[in-house]
Amino acid sequence: MTALLEVKNLVKHFTVGRGVVRAVEGVTFSIERGETLGLVGESGCGKTTTGRCILQLERPTSGAVIFEGRDLTTLSEVELRPIRRKVQVIFQDPYSSLNPRMTVGQIIAEPIAVHNIVSGAAARAARVKDLLARVGLLPAHAQRYPHEMSGGQRQRVGIARALAMEPALIVCDEPVSALDVSIQAQIINLLEDLQSEFGLTYLFIAHDLAVVRHISDRIVVMYLGKIAEMSDRKSIYDDPRHPYTRALLSAVPIPDPELEMKRERIVLGGEVPSPLNPPGGCVFHPRCPIAVERCRHDVPLLRDLSPGHVAACHLA
């Protein structure tokens, strides 16, 4: 069976003044149907750009984004239109992701009308009501404007808008990191419920490993535009091989106070280097606690460590 989405050797560079920001430097992974892939890394690691390249909101510099067997990067804007509804997105900021001049009802109904998913105004209104119910909102919310709702409610509207297009894949770009902790869990649970109900596939982007742990089947850890480590959830958490993954994991609080006391903490020194001028050799070596001389010169390739578990580290 072929994967729903394959990302092959994705590269995205931005020209800024005279410099070139190497946001994504050759990223390859795939997502199976019905799976949730967690994409984790600090801000500036290229995870959001990867998501935007998959959505074709940015055109990649090179590489392929193969969705249901078609390379989206080769398609024109017009050819993309019918495919776009199959790949949807939920944004981080629930305040700026909804058009402030449209009511919630209009926001959800618009894609239904444009793609003629349901025809007839009455049938569309019924579908909007149905979608609102699915995401835990009331029919009356359809009359509201986004600014009249709370952050959690707005994020539900964003989810309903994505669902309205009956997508196969949803790119969730840090969908809960702008929300209160109590509401984060609700939204994650909602996303899980919807996944089993509609057989959705998620690319779940997050900046720490705590959030994705609950929802992901497999996890990709990115650092400075490259994949550091990729594996299924269990081995990432139980057997992290890349020092960067270990550092990220050590920042995740453990609910058990005794364990929390005992474990060692890896605190990364320094800032993430600028993607304008990434370090040579292994991009992680300036901050790496176990780096050796070799890491300064040789770029580590992704190596298979065990079936399905890869890492880019000479010492892994």
Cβ 168 to other proteins shortest distance, Å: 14
The site map against other proteins for 86-115 (x = CB under 8 A) is: -xxx-xxx--xxxxxx--------xx--xx
Of 50-58, 213-221, 256-264, 289-297, the segment contacting other proteins by CB under 8 A is: 50-58
| Segment interacting with other proteins, rule: CB under 8 A, options 37-45, 67-75, 142-150, 276-284 | 142-150
Beta carbon of residue 282, minimum distance to other proteins (angstroms, whole number): 32
Cα(115)–Cα(53) distance, integer angstroms: 22
Instruction: In angstroms, give the least distance from the CB of 117 to other proteins.
Output: 11
Q: Which of 9, 19, 57, 260 binds other proteins (CB under 8 A)?
A: 57
Using the rule CB under 8 A, which residue among 12, 22, 47, 85 binds other proteins? 85
Residues in contact with other proteins by the rule CB under 8 A: 17, 52, 55, 57, 80-85, 87-89, 91-93, 96-101, 110-111, 114-115, 136-138, 140-141, 143-144, 148, 150, 152-153, 156, 158, 161, 165, 183, 185-186, 189-190
